[in-house]
Amino acid sequence: MFKFRKALASTLTAIVVAAGAPAVLAQGMQNIASHSTATSVDIVDTAVGAGQFNTLAKALAAAGLVDTLKGPGPFTVFAPTDAAFAKIPADKLNALLADKAALTKVLTYHVVPGKVVASDVRTGQVKTVEGRSLNVTASSGGVKVNNANVIKTDVMASNGVIHVIDSVVLPN
């Protein structure tokens, strides 16, 4: 794992760059809106640029995972929105953010090795980076990951793909 300070510095730099450089923000939003198939922006910067993953970015920094998810990958990330994190009671979320080991387990449970786009999704178990499996259910009504609904698919990044989910999924 990378040092917390380095991860925090990377995240803060990404946030500052996104806030100060409209091109990065525009690229992130364009990826969310158009499901672009090619981009030079990595998973972390794409998420930060989208503006709806601030809690996820904070959690990645606290867990020391920013540099990992900025790495070559490829990764598939089931990314909970800020609204998804808001479903967790504040005291429990703060406790989770303060417990690096537990936070790392939760966050790596949202990551699948490789690049899995929506057209590749099938019902079944998918092994996560954390080591346990997610239960994926694909139906005409949409895709669920455990009890979370996938609300946006195929947000492409240079090192993988993001699928946006409406709840935080927790390993059993």
* CATH number of residue 69's parent domain: 2.30.180.10
**Which pLDDT score, from 0 to 100, does residue 140 have?**
87
- For residues 12 and 134, the model is more confident at 134
161 part of a folded domain? yes
pLDDT tens digits, one per residue of 100-149: 999 999 999 999 999 999 999 899 999 999 999 999 999 888 999 999 99
87 part of a folded domain? yes
> How far is the CA of 166 from the CAs of 47, 120, 143, 144, 151, in angstroms?
15, 20, 11, 10, 7
Return d(Cα 11, Cα 124) in angstroms, integer: 34
136 part of a folded domain? yes
172 part of a folded domain? no
Q: Is residue 67 a contact partner of residue 73, using CB atoms and an 8 Å limit?
A: no
pTM for the full model? 0.77
Question: Which uninterrupted H or E stretch holds 67?
Answer: helix 66-69
50 part of a folded domain? yes
171 part of a folded domain? no
The parent domain of residue 68 ranges over 4-165
Q: Look-up: residue for tokens 């100060």?
A: 20
Q: At 38, is the pLDDT very low, low, confident or very high (cuts 50, 70, 90)?
A: low
Domain count for the chain: 1
**Which pLDDT score, from 0 to 100, does residue 89 have?**
96
Return d(Cα 74, Cα 108) in angstroms, integer: 14
